[in-house]
């Protein structure tokens, strides 16, 4: 198997009240591949993604993720904090204390990568939902992330924008060798990934070839 960008071994996570969100999970995402995480509401998908991002600490088990990690929320309004597109992408680079020229170059490169090169001065409020998601992704690209985690990024988009975004992300991660894990419950999005995982009640119950998992889920609907 190719070198992994994400490795999870015997992962368990309980909420403070004792409820189990992740019962037992082991998985690997090969480096540079685009995988999807499937499951019904309450299956633990978003919780697993937050564990991988370090936003939650596991109860037990092991997580190995290449750094830096980029995280894209379901609702981009929860992570876009600056008034303009360019300023928001640059904001994520503050901690790196880079020279101004380097920041400008990275912002320009990242926005170009998501086809928003002409939007640097555009106010965030004037963007569509799909454009906001692209800005959130650009923020991760600007930080030169090795791993990109996306929590149902198409949930708030119209059908055409959904497939446009997933196709763009596939092209982006493939061209840059980024390891990506994309949470979804939309079966048509499986046409764009290298592999998929299926979670049920906090347990990994299947993984592998996307079309096989798609067929399995269609038969159960």
Q: What is the pLDDT of residue 2?
A: 57
Q: Which domain holds residue 79?
A: 75-145
**pLDDT bracket for residue 218 (50, 70, 90):** confident
Q: Residue 1's pLDDT is what?
A: 43
Residue 12, pLDDT above cutoff 90: yes
Mean pLDDT for all residues in the chain: 92
Considering only 81-85, 97-101, 120-124, 155-159, which range has the smallest mean pLDDT? Answer: 155-159
Cβ-defined contacts of 41-44 (< 8 Å, 24+) = 41/185, 42/201, 43/199, 43/200, 43/201, 43/202, 44/13, 44/199, 44/201, 44/202
Domain identity same for 160 and 60:
yes
Residues 152 and 215 in one domain: yes
**Residue percentage of the chain with pLDDT more than 70:** 99
Considering 117, 145, 173, which residue would you say is the last residue of a domain? 145
Question: Are 151 and 215 in a shared domain?
Answer: yes
Instruction: Look at residues 102, 130, 145 and tell me which one is the last residue of a structural domain.
Output: 145
Q: What is the pLDDT of residues 17-75, one digit of tens each?
A: 999 999 989 999 999 999 999 988 889 999 999 999 999 999 999 999 999 999 999 89
Mean predicted confidence (pLDDT) in 156-172: 89
Question: Whole-angstrom Cα distance, residue 33 to residue 173?
Answer: 8
Q: In CATH, what number is assigned to the domain containing residue 196?
A: 3.40.50.300
Q: How many domains does the chain have?
A: 2
Please state the length of the chain. 221
Question: Do 156 and 219 reside in the same domain of the chain?
Answer: yes
pLDDT of residue 219 exceeding 90: no
Same domain, 96 and 8: no
Do 33 and 22 sit in the same domain of this protein?
Answer: yes
Judge if 153 and 51 occupy the same domain.
yes
Does the structure show a pLDDT above 90 at 157?
no
pLDDT of 215 > 60? The answer is yes
Are 9 and 41 contained in the same domain? yes
Let me know whether 57 and 4 are in one domain. yes
Assess whether 14 and 32 both reside in one domain. Answer: yes
Percent of the residues in the chain that have a pLDDT greater than 90, as a whole number: 78
């Amino acid at each position: 198997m190719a070198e992994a960008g994400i490795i999870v071994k015997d992962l368990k996570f309980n909420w403070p009240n004792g409820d189990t969100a992740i019962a037992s999970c082991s998985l690997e995402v090969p480096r540079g591949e685009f995988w999807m995480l499937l499951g019904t509401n309450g299956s633990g998908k978003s919780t697993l993604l937050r564990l991988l991002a370090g936003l939650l600490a596991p109860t037990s088990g092991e997580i190995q993720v290449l750094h830096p990690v980029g995280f894209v929320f379901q609702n981009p309004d929860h992570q876009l904090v600056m008034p303009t597109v360019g300023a928001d992408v640059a904001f994520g680079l503050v901690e790196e204390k880079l020279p101004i020229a380097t920041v400008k170059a990275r912002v320009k490169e990242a926005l170009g990568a998501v086809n928003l090169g002409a939007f640097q001065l555009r106010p965030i409020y004037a963007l569509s939902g799909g454009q906001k998601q692209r800005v959130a992704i650009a923020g991760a690209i600007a930080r030169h992330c090795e791993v990109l985690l996306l929590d149902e990024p198409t949930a708030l988009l119209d059908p055409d924008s959904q497939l446009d975004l997933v196709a763009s992300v596939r092209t982006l991660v493939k061209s840059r060798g980024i390891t990506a894990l994309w949470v979804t419950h939309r079966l048509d999005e499986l046409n764009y990934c290298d592999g998929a995982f299926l979670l049920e009640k906090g347990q990994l119950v299947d993984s592998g070839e996307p079309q096989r998992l798609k067929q399995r889920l269609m038969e159960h609907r």
